[in-house]
Amino acid sequence: MVLGMTTSKQVKARMLLGKYGIGIVLLFLMLIIGILEPSFRTGTNFLNVATQVSINGLISFGMCLVITTGGIDLSVGAQLALVSCVLGQLITKQGMNALLAIIIAVLVSTFLGFLNGILISRFHMFPFVVTLSSQLIIRGLAQIISGGQSIPLQSTFITDVYNMKLLGIPFPILYLTVATVAAYLILHWTKLGRYIFAVGGNENAAIASGVNHYWVKTTVYMISGLMAGLAGVIMAAKTGSAQSNIGVGYETDAIAACVIGGTSFAGGEATIPGVLMGIFIIGFIYNGMNLIGIQSYFQPMTKGMVIILAVLMDMFMKRKNA
């Protein structure tokens, strides 16, 4: 077909399937759990899952932008811990206004993301190495600030962040919705999004096309820091305490959600709807296994196998529709 003709519906449908074939995995998963466990099919349970995945959701969107530039951010789990400890220190120990404390805590995590970005873009260090190190530094900071103690967060303003509802919908679901829309707009509807794809797809070509790759990379790590910070606030609100040992391994779930959602580890390919589906697939695995009553020891194993299966299926479908 020569260009200028409209894309046929068939081609469009196949492209959609190639892009969002992971949705089939999600539906299949829900179907199986739904058959095995009737209580899975209730509205309350879906609200529960959506509430639970909000923390991983926020982190995953930041992670998605980072991976799409060809990088990785391993420091996000530690960022959760640091944010909760900063909140504990400022609110409980210093008696600071809770909103102000939240703003400061999130600024701290964003700034640390900025530092990651500077080291990676300006100094050409490997993202894996930089964020592996900053993960240790950030968790160390959290331990120093908290003295290794769990600090209770008594402010109702903080706990409301997690527990409040709007028209019966828990607040975390609203955060997740806002984050999804924001991430979608950034990646698919802004110049920054285009530059993220370009830098991840072919950095040299991006530079030769006038893209400021330093700025793009620094920005995505900043966004990842910001999202991890916001997730940290939700986490602190959920647990009602500041602890330096929370959020261990959270980067794994975020990376998993991205990969399941079709984010290419080589960079340059990702969709936000795909990542959202990945987030829910992870959520349903946890939730479904709990409901069915499978020992928690089996959860990581199942998650690992689902990731491999999902990626294999994604590759298979892409090849078929290429």
Partner 1 sequence: MSEQDKNLIFECSGVYKAFGGTQALQDVQLQVKPGSVHALLGENGAGKSTLMKCIIGMYKIDRGTMLYNGEPYMARSTSEALGKGISMIYQELNIEPFLSIADSIFLHREFVSGIFLSKKKQNEEAQRILDDFGFNKKATTLMGELTIAQCQMVEIIKAVSYQANIIIMDEPTSSLDNTETERLFKVIRELRAKGVAIIYISHRMEEIFEVCDEVSIFRDGRYVGYYEIGDVTQDQLISLMVGRSVESVFPKVDCPIGDEAIRVENLSGKGFSDISFSVRKGEIVGLTGLVGSGRSESMKALFGLDPLASGTIYLEGEEVKIPSPRAAIELGIGMVNEDRKNYGLCLHRSVLENISLPNLRASQPKLFLNKKREAKEGGDIAKMVTVKCRSLEDTVYSLSGGNQQKVVVGKWIMSQPKVLILDEPTRGVDVGAKAELHALMSKFAAEGMAIIMISSELPEIMGMSDRVLVYCEGKLIGEIMRADILSGKITQEDILQKEFGA
How does DSSP classify residue 260?
H
Q: How far is the CB of 266 from partner 1 (least distance, A)?
A: 8
Cα gap 297→227, rounded to integer Å: 29
The residue among 114 and 215 lying less far from partner 1, judged by its C-beta, is 215
281-303 in b/e form (b: 16+ CB < 10 A) is: bbbbbbbbbebeeeeeeeeeeeb
Residues constituting the chain = 322
Cα gap 271→227, rounded to integer Å: 17
Q: How far is the CB of 80 from partner 1 (least distance, A)?
A: 30
Put residue 239 in one of left, alpha, beta given phi > 0 → left and psi -120 to 50 → alpha: alpha
Closest Cα to residue 282, out of 317, 257, 308, 249?
Answer: 257
Q: How far is the CB of 162 from partner 1 (least distance, A)?
A: 31
The residue among 213 and 239 lying less far from partner 1, judged by its C-beta, is 213
The residue among 43 and 191 lying less far from partner 1, judged by its C-beta, is 191
The residue among 70 and 232 lying less far from partner 1, judged by its C-beta, is 70
Spatial neighbors of 230 by CB under 8 A, at least 6 apart, are 58, 106, 175, 179
The residue among 194 and 239 lying less far from partner 1, judged by its C-beta, is 194
CA distances 200 to 110, 180, 204, Å, are 22, 21, 10
Q: How far is the CB of 29 from partner 1 (least distance, A)?
A: 28
Cα gap 253→300, rounded to integer Å: 10
Helix (H, G, I), strand (E, B) or coil at 169: strand
Cα gap 280→195, rounded to integer Å: 27
The residue among 145 and 206 lying less far from partner 1, judged by its C-beta, is 206
Q: Within a 10 A sphere around the Cβ of 16, how many other Cβ atoms?
A: 12
The residue among 69 and 131 lying less far from partner 1, judged by its C-beta, is 69
Q: How far is the CB of 264 from partner 1 (least distance, A)?
A: 8
Q: How far is the CB of 260 from partner 1 (least distance, A)?
A: 19
CA distances 301 to 37, 204, 254, Å, are 20, 39, 16
DSSP assignment of 45-75, as one string? HHHHHHHHHHHHHHHHHHHHHHHHTT---TT
Q: How far is the CB of 178 from partner 1 (least distance, A)?
A: 16
Cα gap 163→257, rounded to integer Å: 25
The residue among 144 and 181 lying less far from partner 1, judged by its C-beta, is 181
In the numeric block, the tokens 């209730």 are attached to 42
Q: How far is the CB of 120 from partner 1 (least distance, A)?
A: 19
The residue among 2 and 166 lying less far from partner 1, judged by its C-beta, is 2
Q: How far is the CB of 130 from partner 1 (least distance, A)?
A: 23
The contact set with partner 1 (CB under 8 A) reads 1-4, 7, 11, 15, 185, 189-191, 194-195, 197-198, 201-202, 204-212, 264, 268-269, 322
